[in-house]
Chain A
Amino acid sequence: MVIHGNNNVMIAMNDNNWQKARLVKSKMIATDVKSLTFQVDEWIKHKAGQHYDIRLTAENGYQAQRSYSIASAPEDFGIVEFGIQLLSEGEVSPYLFTLQEDDEIEIRGPLGQHFVWETSLSGPLILIGGGSGVVPLVSMLRHRYMAGDTRKTIFLISAQSLDHVLYRDELEAYMQNDPNVEIPITLTQQKPMGWLGYERRVDKEMLQETMGDVLSQKPSIYICGPTPFVEACASGLIDLAVDPSLIKTERFGG
């Protein structure tokens, strides 16, 4: 395996950098969401928040491409993990759900240089994720942990129900082991008995309550999820007088 430490140096690979990726692990991580971990020959260290493009080719030569955020940390050498939400009428995601260990697909990346976070950036970290939009944010949290970084971090998650929260066990472990990590969750459709957390869509009041002072400490803010979710979160923060240049967004998922 070849390891490249710097993804700004694009390596000359044939066919515009498409390469084979072999499935080494798959696991359900929430209702209708599967984590797929691939091994690649040309592993390139990514920045947390980046994505890969996946390409599927049918027997008749038809090709489809989709983008998927990287869930693994830049420190996870040699592998790339994705968190894929099943859209049952979709073209690509249902096929990815059928992949078995050792099956191969084509991918290229890491891609995108805007929605990225590195521990070299200063200030507290605010992550806001809706649905499968938490995937790139999980990569950021994993990066923070693996790099031994202890900065104040607030990860606000919106999900339909507790079973729809991606990587829930892992997130709970971060919260229990690190007093600087807070992961408030809001459940928009179904809550378990005795639920004490939020049970509505994210609004200005929720942002204020969960983030408070941190908003005035020049945080790096990353919002990812479906468009209406991202719009609501970003405009809520603007209403709270947050400097728009601190906010980075990515929109996908429904």
Chain B
Amino acid sequence: MIINKGFSPKHTSEHSLPPGQYETHDFPVLSKGYTPKIDTNNWKIRIHGLVSNPIVLSWNEFNALPSSEITTDIHCVTKWSKFNTVWKGVSLDTLVELVGLQGRATHVLAFTYDDYSTNLPVADILLNKAYIVTEFDQKPLASEHGGPARLLVPHLYLWKSAKWINELKFIDHEELGFWELRGYHRYGDPWKQQRYDSDE
């Protein structure tokens, strides 16, 4: 390791930061392409794969489900972390209960309106670890941040929290998603600094 003489921390944070992260107070954007503009009148989410009752929900049907407010920290692989962000959404536990998970389901793939995908182990989306959120800071989620609805899996790097979500597919093996196929880590734990595929 090299010590960089004269280099010293500049911004202090009152929060505990995962390694290599810094605190930001704005909300930067990371996306692979353009920002899709989605009319909630046409919005749908499909939940299928290894489930007993595959479903497709409209915007109104989805918003009729019980929702909760979530206050959580988020960590982006591009090095920023944001603390105490406030969201509103539906826990994936609620959705999983609706469709009934088959015992063989070990992983889930999330797909989106911009043909993005990301992979997660089922264990990482149960027990209120993951949500589909529709509000940020008490306002409808802005399109550049994934509105009208995005996944939120705050214990993993934010690319796992797929923006513009429209599909969850349960499968019995691991299949890599968009960034995971392009050099990023298959799991993405910020506390273990699992940024790139060469990280342990």
State the A residues within 8 Å of B (CB).
10, 15-17, 20, 53, 55-60, 62-67, 89-91, 95, 98, 104-106, 111-115, 227, 230-231, 234-235, 237-238, 244-245, 247-249, 251-252
Q: How far is the CB of B7 from chain A (nearest CB, A)?
A: 5
For B199, the chain A residues whose CB sits under 8 A away are 16
Known contacts A63-B20, A113-B182; A234/B9 CB under 8 A: no
Among B1-41, those with CB < 8 Å from A are 1-11, 19-20, 22, 28-37
B22 touches A64 (CB 8 A): yes
* 6 A-B pairs whose Cβ atoms sit less than 8 Å apart in the complex: A56-B4, A90-B10, A91-B22, A234-B35, A244-B34, A247-B33
Known contacts A114-B182, A251-B31; A57/B4 CB under 8 A: yes
**CB-based nearest A residue for B37:** A235
A66 touches B4 (CB 8 A): no
For B78, the chain A residues whose CB sits under 8 A away are 67, 252
**CB-based nearest A residue for B34:** A234
Known contacts A113-B183, A227-B144; A58/B34 CB under 8 A: no
B33 touches A95 (CB 8 A): no
**CB-based nearest A residue for B197:** A10
B34 touches A247 (CB 8 A): yes
* In the assembled complex, B84 has its CB within 8 A of some CB on chain A: no
For A104, the chain B residues whose CB sits under 8 A away are 2
For A113, the chain B residues whose CB sits under 8 A away are 181-183
Residue-wise interface mask of B (71-88) relative to A, using a CB-CB cutoff of 8 A (1 in contact, 0 not): 000000011000000000
Known contacts A57-B3, A63-B19; A91/B29 CB under 8 A: no
State the B residues within 8 Å of A (CB).
1-11, 19-20, 22, 28-37, 78-79, 114-115, 144, 178-179, 181-183, 195-200
B30 touches A251 (CB 8 A): yes
B1 touches A57 (CB 8 A): yes
A112 touches B183 (CB 8 A): yes
B4 touches A58 (CB 8 A): yes
For A115, the chain B residues whose CB sits under 8 A away are 32
B182 touches A56 (CB 8 A): no
The listed residue with most A CB atoms (<10 A of its CB), out of B4, B10, B35, B78, is B4
Expressed in whole angstroms, the Cα–Cα distance for A95 and B79 within the complex equals: 17
B7 touches A238 (CB 8 A): no
B33 touches A234 (CB 8 A): yes
A17-B198, A113-B181 known, 17 other contacts, Cβ within 8 Å: A10-B198, A16-B198, A55-B20, A58-B4, A60-B8, A64-B7, A66-B79, A91-B9, A91-B11, A91-B22, A95-B4, A111-B183, A114-B179, A249-B32, A249-B33, A251-B30, A251-B31
Expressed in whole angstroms, the Cα–Cα distance for A237 and B9 within the complex equals: 41
Expressed in whole angstroms, the Cα–Cα distance for A112 and B184 within the complex equals: 7
B9 touches A251 (CB 8 A): no
Q: How far is the CB of B169 from chain A (nearest CB, A)?
A: 21
B3 touches A59 (CB 8 A): yes
Expressed in whole angstroms, the Cα–Cα distance for A5 and B144 within the complex equals: 37
A16 touches B7 (CB 8 A): no
Q: How far is the CB of B177 from chain A (nearest CB, A)?
A: 12
Q: How far is the CB of B97 from chain A (nearest CB, A)?
A: 35
For A106, the chain B residues whose CB sits under 8 A away are 1-2
Q: How far is the CB of A180 from chain B (nearest CB, A)?
A: 26
Picked from B5, B8, B35, the residue with its CB within 8 Å of the CB of A62 is B8
For A248, the chain B residues whose CB sits under 8 A away are 32-33
For A67, the chain B residues whose CB sits under 8 A away are 78-79
